[in-house]
Amino acid sequence: MKKSLYRLLIPALSLLFLFSAAVAETFHPAVDSLMISTADHTKFDELKKDFRSGPEVTEACLRCHTEAAKQLHRTKHWTWDVPMKDGKMLGKSHVVNNFCISVESNEPRCTSCHIGYGWKDKTFDFTSERNVDCLVCHDATGTYRKYPSGAGHPALVDTVFGKKPFPKSDLTYIAQHVGNPDRHNCGICHFEGGGGDAVKHGDLDNSLLEPSETLDVHMASGKDELNMTCIDCHKTEGHQVPGSRYEPTARDVHGFDYPLPDDYPTTCGSCHGLEPHKNFKKLDDHIDKVACQTCHIPAMAKERSTKMWWDWSKAGQLDDKGKEITRMDSTGHPVYMTKKGEFEWAREVEPEYRWFNGEMNYVTFLTEIDDSGVVAINHPDGEPGDSLSRIWPFKVHRGKQPYDSVLKRFVKPKLFGPKGSGAYWKDFDWRKSIETGMAYAGMDYSGSYGFVETEMYWPISHMVSPKEDALGCVDCHARGGRLEKLGGFYLPGRDASAFVELIGLVVILGSLVGVVAHAAMRYVAHKNMKQEGEA
């Protein structure tokens, strides 16, 4: 009896053991600082001092990270220059935009997002290593903030900008608590481009700090979610952050290659390959013609309204008492500001779709524009028959901005500065503002200005939805669908040949009318014959 019990018990126990091994969760050691870094910055004597300015911190950083500033000097984050193949110089310091138009003459305000200290005018020394701001990207405390009009410096004493408090940055504490950039470091500039949260890009805003899965399936930061950060895709080497609106990758032809950076930056295909739709072959057939983003980012500005329209020509109105006006819409977004003019905002925006081959054309301040219609400040190149082009989603920001109505070029108004300096935001005089800005830039100006309507294209790549929320076939394959206006190719469900439809109509109606007539004639003939028979 006892023996037989053992015989049962042993296999039962071993089965139990096997089973328990199968269901056991993989053990993950707790992630602490020791898992991430070999250096505890709180232990460095270099950092145990009372820093009184940003550059002082940088000097301390550079004692160990001796080459870091030199690396930074080569990046477009530092130069705001992007030299193009055709010899054109693009980059933030050169291109026209239809938000705040131009950096030049507005440096103290614009360069609060520069990774440098003190770019307040043309005298900024781009060779200075101590002016590289290490902390804005490496602050792991979330407390470091550049002062909006401080030309890149943080608040060194407690202060207020607008109505927002900017407390003194505790540089010593921050310097001792540094880390790899997370979403907040990148976001502090890229989420707030154009002067505020969600203004510029449409697919980058502060909702991405802690996004839900529906907002961004990759960056979702909840339990068991991917929790990817910016640098997972914008994988950095030597401080060069890949990813550029000047030379974007419109079509990945390499497929799986993460983390090798042969596509800049990591594309969808780097992780998902070039045939990602396992059970739906026809979707993979779309990949050469449709960017992943087109279906998988069905809407941008999902949680926060983004600016869609900015009309500078309406700026400058004052109320009866000569005071500036600010009008808000019901959601608390300004729709009119004396300084800036008229705005329109939108949330859950359907992107606009264009063929795009990766060549983005930029108008510069030297380009002669055709002011008879809407001027595209930049526009994507591409066409349907081209093997490089795919359909891409864009945020198109439209507005009206000043230009030289004689020379037909965009102008650089001086917006920011003290009263009497010509700055539009204090003097509200376009003539003075443009003259001052153009003179500062050393550019020709005829003296006559006007306002022209412009549009600017921003390719959309962020806020990728979970696959359940991706566009369905009928969103495009339909009359009146999302691709209604995108011409030059046959789209099933949307397009038809008028000739074929006409033949179809004739055939179907003809045969219906024919059989009905034939049947009627048979009926009449039959009735007549019956009557004749009876008669």
Partner 1 sequence: MRRVYLYARFQRFWHWMQAITIFSLLFTGLEVHGLFKLIGYETAFHVHNFLAWGLVTFIVLAFFWYITTGDFRQYLTEGNLIEKIMMQARYYLIGIFKNEPHPFKKNEISRLNPLQRITYLMLTLVGLPLQIIVGFAYYYFNELVALGMPPSWMEPIAHLHTLLAYLLIGFVIMHVYMTTTGHTLTSNIKAMVTGWEEVEE
Contact 309, 399 (CB under 8 A): yes
**CB nearer partner 1, residue 331 or residue 497:** 497
Q: Beta strand pairing status for 390-404 and 306-311?
A: parallel
Strand partners, 360: 380
Using CB under 8 A, which of 7, 327, 526, 527 touches partner 1?
526
The tokens describing 410, both together, are 């965009």
188 vs 183: CA distance, rounded Å = 8
Task: Determine which residue in the list 500, 531, 534, 535 makes contact with partner 1, applying CB under 8 A.
Answer: 500
The residue within the footprint of partner 1, chosen from 385, 418, 420, 442 (CB under 8 A), is 385
Does 31 help bind partner 1 (rule: CB under 8 A)? no
Smallest distance, Å, CB 269 to partner 1?
16
The span from the CA of 33 to the CA of 196, in Å, is 33
Which one of 28, 43, 163, 282 is in contact with partner 1 (CB under 8 A)?
282
Segment interacting with partner 1 (CB under 8 A) among 32-40, 238-246, 258-266, 502-510: 502-510
**Per-residue binder mask for partner 1 (CB under 8 A), 123-162, x = binder:** ----------------------------------------
Query: How far is residue 487 CA from its own chain's centroid?
Result: 25
Q: Which is nearer to partner 1, 21 or 500 (by Cβ)? A: 500
85 binds partner 1 (CB under 8 A): no
Q: Residues in contact with partner 1, total (CB under 8 A)?
A: 37
Q: What is the dihedral of CA 345, 331, 149, 58, to 10 degrees?
A: -90
Give the residue with the Cβ less far from partner 1, 33 or 497.
Answer: 497
* First-residue to last-residue Cα distance in the chain: 107
Which phi and psi (to 5°) does residue 346 adopt? -150, 145
Build a one-symbol-per-residue string for 441-480: x at contacts with partner 1 by CB under 8 A, - elsewhere: -------------------------------xxx--xxx-
Q: For residue 312, give the 3-state DSSP assignment.
A: helix
Pick the closer one to partner 1 by CB: 281 or 419.
281
Q: Is 182 exposed, middle or buried (0-12, 13-18, 19+ CB in 10 A)?
A: middle
- Shortest approach of partner 1 to residue 518 CB, angstroms? 7
If one asks whether residue 288 binds partner 1 (CB under 8 A), the answer comes out as yes
Q: Hey, CA dihedral for 44, 45, 46, 50, is it positive or negative?
A: positive
CA 51 to chain centre: 35
User: Between residues 3 and 485, which has the closer beta carbon with respect to partner 1?
Assistant: 485
398 burial type by CB count under 10 A (0-12 exposed, 13-18 middle, 19+ buried): middle
Shortest distance, CB of residue 487 to partner 1, whole angstroms? Answer: 12
Nearest approach in angstroms of CB 465 to partner 1 is 17
Residue 494 binding partner 1, by CB under 8 A: yes
CB-nearer residue toward partner 1: 328 or 474: 474
Within 503-522, the residues that bind partner 1 by CB under 8 A are 503-504, 507-508, 510-512, 514-515, 518-519, 521-522
Q: Specify the residue, 125 or 288, whose C-beta has the smaller distance to partner 1.
A: 288
Q: What is the dihedral of CA 243, 244, 245, 251, to 10 degrees?
A: -50
In the structure encoding, which two tokens stand for residue 404, read together? 């030289």
How far are the Cα atoms of 104, 232, 275, 276, 284 from residue 272, in angstroms, in the given order? Answer: 42, 14, 8, 6, 12
Write out the residues near partner 1 by the rule CB under 8 A.
282, 285, 288, 385, 472-474, 477-479, 489-490, 492-497, 499-501, 503-504, 507-508, 510-512, 514-515, 518-519, 521-522, 525-526, 529
